[in-house]
């Protein structure tokens, strides 16, 4: 069993504290929006806050730990988890960004689960986690351009 844990102090400042701030902005935006019922900056604050809170607390888009027990892959955050059995995973797509930050869509991603932002540099053994996820994507989707090496060019 392997447990990849986001560094707790960094997780607090990168995920939890902004979520708390979004909650207070949501309350502030709602109070101000009730005072003037028009679409203005406070309506935008409400929409952005609801989106951010939903991603953090409902869809668990930024997990605090990722557990690989050999049979399944689990994404944990805020006392909840999403579990995917290795043998049942049929789909995984990874978009890579700078500094090994990954946007992962796994097994029928939807509004409530299956979409995760993983900043592998912030997890202990993050390089191993990065390689494991990349290997899974390579195994399931070898036809992707990023996995093709030594492509032959046809002359003609």
Domain residue limits, the chain: 2-142
Count each helix (H run) and each strand (E run) in the chain, helices first. 4, 7
pLDDT in tens, 71-98: 999 999 999 999 999 889 999 999 999 8
pLDDT in tens, the chain (156 residues): 889 999 999 999 999 999 999 999 999 999 998 888 788 899 999 999 999 999 999 999 999 999 999 899 999 999 999 999 988 999 999 999 988 899 999 988 888 999 999 999 999 999 999 999 988 888 888 887 777 765 544 444
CA quadruple 90, 59, 101, 98: dihedral sign = positive
pLDDT at 1: 82
Taking phi over 0 as left and psi of -120 to 50 as alpha, with beta for the rest, 91 belongs to beta
CA distance 21 to 18: 5
Concatenated DSSP letters of 28-68: HHHHHHHHS-SSSHHHHHHHHHHHHHIIIIIS--S-SEEEE
Q: Which pLDDT score, from 0 to 100, does residue 147 have? A: 74
Count Cβ atoms within 10 A of the Cβ of residue 65 and give its class: 0-12 exposed, 13-18 middle, 19 or more buried: middle
């Amino acid at each position: 069993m392997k447990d990849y844990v986001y560094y707790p102090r960094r997780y607090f400042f990168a995920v939890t504290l902004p979520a708390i701030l979004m909650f207070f902005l949501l309350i502030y935006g709602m109070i101000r929006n009730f005072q003037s019922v028009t679409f203005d900056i406070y309506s935008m604050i409400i929409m952005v806050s609801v989106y951010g809170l939903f991603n953090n607390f409902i869809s668990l888009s930024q997990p605090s730990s990722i557990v690989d027990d050999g049979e399944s892959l689990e994404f944990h955050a805020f006392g909840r988890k999403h579990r995917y059995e290795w043998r049942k995973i049929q789909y995984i797509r990874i978009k890579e960004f700078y500094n090994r930050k990954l946007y992962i869509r796994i097994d029928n991603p939807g509004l409530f689960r299956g979409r995760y932002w993983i900043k592998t540099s912030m997890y202990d053994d993050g390089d191993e986690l990065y390689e494991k996820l990349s290997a899974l994507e390579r195994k399931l989707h070898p036809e992707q351009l990023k996995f093709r090496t030594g492509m032959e060019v046809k002359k003609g």
